[in-house]
Amino acid sequence: MTTHEDSTPDSPADDIAVEAETAETADATMTEEVVVDESVEAEIEAVATDDGDSAESSAPAAPTASTEAKPAVVPSAPVPAPRPGPRPSAPQGAVPARPAASAPAEPWGKVDDDGTVSVREAAGWRVVGQYPDGTPEEALAYFERKYADLASEVTLLEVRHRRGGASASDLRGAARLVQDKLTDAAAVGDLASLDARVAALTGELTESSAAEAAAAREAVDDAVKERTVLVEAAEALAARDPKTVQWKQASAELSSLFDQWQLQQQNGPRLPKSTAQQLWKRFRDARSIVDKHRREFYSELDEAHKGVRDRKSALVAKAEALAPKGEDGIGAYRELLDQWKTAGRAGKKADDALWAKFKAAGDALYSARGEREAADAEASREKIAEKKVLLEEAKAVADEPQIAKARTLLTGIQRKWDEIGRIFPRDAERALDDDLRKIEQALRSREDVDWKRNNPETKARANDMTRQLTEAIDKLESELAAAEKSGDKRAIAQAQEALEARRGWLKALGF
């Protein structure tokens, strides 16, 4: 709010213009400082009205000595001159504070014949300005409005402090400005009471500022701890062995720490300059170390990848040189493939490109073999049909009762089988060979059995045993007949048991 110290309007029109300018400036300033709601406005208006009424009630009831030459009747409530914009009005039911009738209060202001306006203070009367072209009532009303504006500012500060939300230190600054305005203010009213209210408010704001300062220090301490945690995390990343670090994850962690640092710097309290610089230096140094290790790691990795790329490029060239050999180059290509597996990694992009070339060279060799196998398979169709016919003929081997004739038949079939030659694909050849092998195995089993039966040594042993068993059976039959004749049951049972055993053995020998 702007106060025109010792302003002396030249005319009532100038007074209205000055009041309009003052009102506009005050309204703009008040809008920038705080948006006051309806309840606050009502409270300010009530206090301002009380202050105005207090000043107005002290207006002189009769002209002073300096105005006797120009008598004028001054009402107890001077009517303010018109000014732009609505003026605050006291709420309904508010009773202005007025002095008791038994003890009339001395007026706060007076007007001399030349329009000089003075305000009563503890030290006496003090000139606040001149209003030469208006009535004494208008002069007093003008400077009483100045007082009302000052009272509104004081009330606004009190309300803002009581409502909370505004910084106590900011309110102290505003209170100092109002205090400066009250010093030798060009206004008529109880300036001492306003000064006392501002002094009391300043004392309360001093206490609140101390509490705010303590809270701010605590917030700064907490912010320092949070920044320190970020610094220590960054330093822990910097202290790790570069060879064991997963750099993609580590870079993401460091980036997250830096984002948190910026967020705290933007939204957190302002740290002391020395502390902030020290923490930032530690954080910056840790980031620099991590970046240095990362660059060194990738530099070494690039060197290693370069060596692997060179080796694999050489393998690709050798594989491509095998193309004229066709199927005969597959063996050499497999050796190159073993070397490829032990060559190492050259980076995903380079590996994929080199492998595509190496694989294409191998595909050319295997394609040549595939073409040859396709031609062989086409040529083997007749051979497959011929061998299937031989398999049908070989089924008669199992039906031939004479083993010698069966062997002769199978040998002839096998000779024709070999004359037909190899068959492609190999799976078809193996299936046909397995079928013929089953027939041969069955015949060989028959031959083994026949050999065991017709072996001279085996037959000699079998004949000797047969003779012994036959003699034993004859003897046991005689003993059984004698036992039956004598009626010896025990001897009969023993003879029968021994006889059955010898006959079983003889049957096992094939007789």
Distance CA 206, CA 169 (A): 8
What confidence tier does 327 reach under pLDDT thresholds 50, 70, 90?
A: confident
Which residues 6+ apart lie within 8 Å of 382 measured at CB?
A: none
Distance CA 332, CA 315 (A): 11
Q: Which tokens belong to 328?
A: 């005969």
Tell me: cis bond preceding 99? Omega within 30 of 0 counts.
no
What's the count of helices (H) and strands (E) in the chain, helices before strands?
14, 3
Which of 238, 293, 245, 287 lies closest to 262 in space, CA to CA?
A: 287
Residue 377 · residue 421 · CB < 8 Å? no
Q: Which tokens belong to 460?
A: 């000699």
Element (H, E) at 82: none
Residue 45 · residue 90 · CB < 8 Å? yes
Least confident residue range of 37-41, 112-116, 170-174: 37-41
Residue type, 54: S
pLDDT at 286: 92
Residue type, 394: A
Which of 358, 273, 269, 267 lies closest to 309 in space, CA to CA?
A: 358
Q: What is the dihedral of CA 238, 239, 243, 246, to 10 degrees?
A: -50
- 241-290 tens-digit pLDDT: 888 888 888 889 989 999 999 998 888 888 889 989 999 999 999 999 99
For the segment 498-509, the average pLDDT, to the nearest whole number, is 79
Distance CA 323, CA 333 (A): 10
Least confident residue range of 155-159, 226-230, 385-389: 385-389
Distance CA 204, CA 156 (A): 15
pLDDT at 280: 93
Listed by start position, the domains of the chain span 12-189, 234-377, 381-454, 456-508
- 153-175 tens-digit pLDDT: 999 988 988 887 777 778 888 88
pLDDT at 146: 92
Residue 52 · residue 144 · CB < 8 Å? yes
Which of 4, 141, 19 lies closest to 85 in space, CA to CA?
A: 19
Distance CA 17, CA 318 (A): 101
DSSP 90: P
Question: % helix / strand / coil in the chain, to the nearest 5?
Answer: 75, 5, 25
pLDDT at 148: 93
Distance CA 444, CA 3 (A): 134
Distance CA 358, CA 341 (A): 12
pLDDT at 55 over 60: no
For the segment 292-298, the average pLDDT, to the nearest whole number, is 86
CA 306, 310, 315, 319 torsion-angle sign: positive
Work out the percent of the chain whose per-residue pLDDT is above 70. 77
pLDDT at 510 over 80: no
For the segment 125-146, the average pLDDT, to the nearest whole number, is 89
